Structure 1
Amino acid sequence: MYTLIGNVRSRAMRVLWTLEELGVPYEHVDAPPRSEAVTRISPAGKVPVLVVDGVPITDSVAIMTFLADRHGALTFPAGTIDRARQDSLTHLILDEVDATLWSAAKHSFVLPEDLRLPQIKDSLRWEFARAEAHLVSRMAEDGPFLMGETMTIADILFAHCGGWAINAKFEITQPRLREHIAMMRDRPAFKRALARG
């Protein structure tokens, strides 16, 4: 049994979705960042936190990777070329998509108001469009998923970022990526995870 701490309006949604796709039992503690429920387990106060056998694991993609490896699903085996390609896509999404959207969020509502730079969003939108083109160039030619016929945690990660982009009014300009996000967000596991909010 796993315990996941974090709310659906955070990166915890990625982990909830992963748990639902895996079909494993878990307890969900709907707690915001820096709340007492989080800081007593993880002093940094960041969510998500997955508690496994009394041990907290932090950082959404580390948790997703752990779960996929442990359950032998949503991933290619470690040490294979396919896994290297999967990890490369995952890191591309983290470095170029997630990081850009997080910078926009920080300058919208996270940073103290006197430190926010609204004008930075124009350059972030440019970076986001470039990241989209980069990701499309790395997608498999066949199959509905980023890696082709096999769904991986990279698909969940990108689709979660895609929803975040839409909410932040960052246009998804690449048709293949729009289709991917719509397909992924139509999955029953996504809807079950979202209902946890």
Structure 2
Amino acid sequence: MYRVIGSGRSRALRVLWMLEELDVPYEHVPAPPRSGDVVALNPAGKVPVLVVDGTPITDSTAILTYLADKHGALTHPAGTIERAQQDSLTQFLLDEFDAALWMAARHSFVLPEELRQSAIKDSLRWEFERSQATLVRRMGHGPFVAGTEMTVPDIILTHCGDWATAAQFPLKEAALAEYLERMRARPAYQRARAA
């Protein structure tokens, strides 16, 4: 059985959702970042951590990729053009969506108060809006971000959409808003959110 460590209000939600989509059993330990349970497995104190046979795996994207490859689901096979396109989209989302949201979070509540720069959030919102327009041009023709099959980028993008809403980063693209509505309606997503 897998053990997921991290609050469902963090990137751990990505892992919980993936496990729900895969319909595999897991234990959830909703520990906050930098808590004793987390630091014991990840010296950086970051969540999520997935424990597999006593071995911790850190970083949500690494965990999602591991689970997708291990279970042969929510991914394209390694070495295919489709996988290269999937990985390209994943990297785009991490660079353009996740990074902007994380930087905003750092300057909102993560960094010591004397190091926070609230003005940076204006430029991050501007970048986030530009990235949405680029993403919409990259989206495939189908219900998922890359077309007809759900893959790892769908989980990352939906989580970033949730994060953007909570951080008051406007979602300006109608196609993106419609996509997020579809993804949030998935039963596995709903189960993960409830956890």
Give the TM-score category using the shorter length: over 0.9
Q: What is the rounded CA distance, in whole Å, between the counterparts of 1:101 and 1:45 in structure 2?
A: 19
Q: Which residue matches 1:20?
A: 20
Q: What is the rounded CA distance, in whole Å, between the counterparts of 2:183 and 2:35 in structure 1?
A: 30
* TM superposition score normalised by structure 2: 0.98
3-state SS, counterpart of residue 66 of structure 1: helix
Matched, 1:94 2:94: yes
Unaligned stretches of 5+ in structure 1? none
Q: Which residue matches 1:179?
A: 178
Letter in 2 for 1:147: A
State the Cα distance separating 1:191 from its structure 2 match.
1.0
Matched, 1:76 2:54: no
Letter in 2 for 1:166: T
Q: Which residue matches 2:34?
A: 34
State the Cα distance separating 1:41 from its structure 2 match.
1.7
Q: What is the rounded CA distance, in whole Å, between the counterparts of 2:50 and 2:104 in structure 1?
A: 26
Superposed CA deviations along residues 107-165 of structure 1, whole A, max 9, x for unmatched, are 1111111111111111011100111111111111x211011110001001000000000
Superposed CA deviations along residues 17-43 of structure 1, whole A, max 9, x for unmatched, are 000001011111110001111111222
State the Cα distance separating 1:45 from its structure 2 match.
1.0
Superposed CA deviations along residues 72-116 of structure 1, whole A, max 9, x for unmatched, are 100010100000000000000000100001111111111111111
Q: Which residue matches 1:107?
A: 107
Q: Which residue matches 1:63?
A: 63
Q: Which residue matches 2:160?
A: 161
Unaligned stretches of 5+ in structure 2? none
3-state SS, counterpart of residue 56 of structure 2: strand
Letter in 1 for 2:156: L
Instruction: Tell me which stretches of 4 or more aligned residues in structure 1 moved more than 3 Å.
Output: none
Q: What is the rounded CA distance, in whole Å, between the counterparts of 1:110 and 1:55 in structure 2?
A: 28
Letter in 2 for 1:42: N
Q: What is the rounded CA distance, in whole Å, between the counterparts of 2:42 and 2:99 in structure 1?
A: 22
Q: What is the rounded CA distance, in whole Å, between the counterparts of 1:42 and 1:103 in structure 2?
A: 21
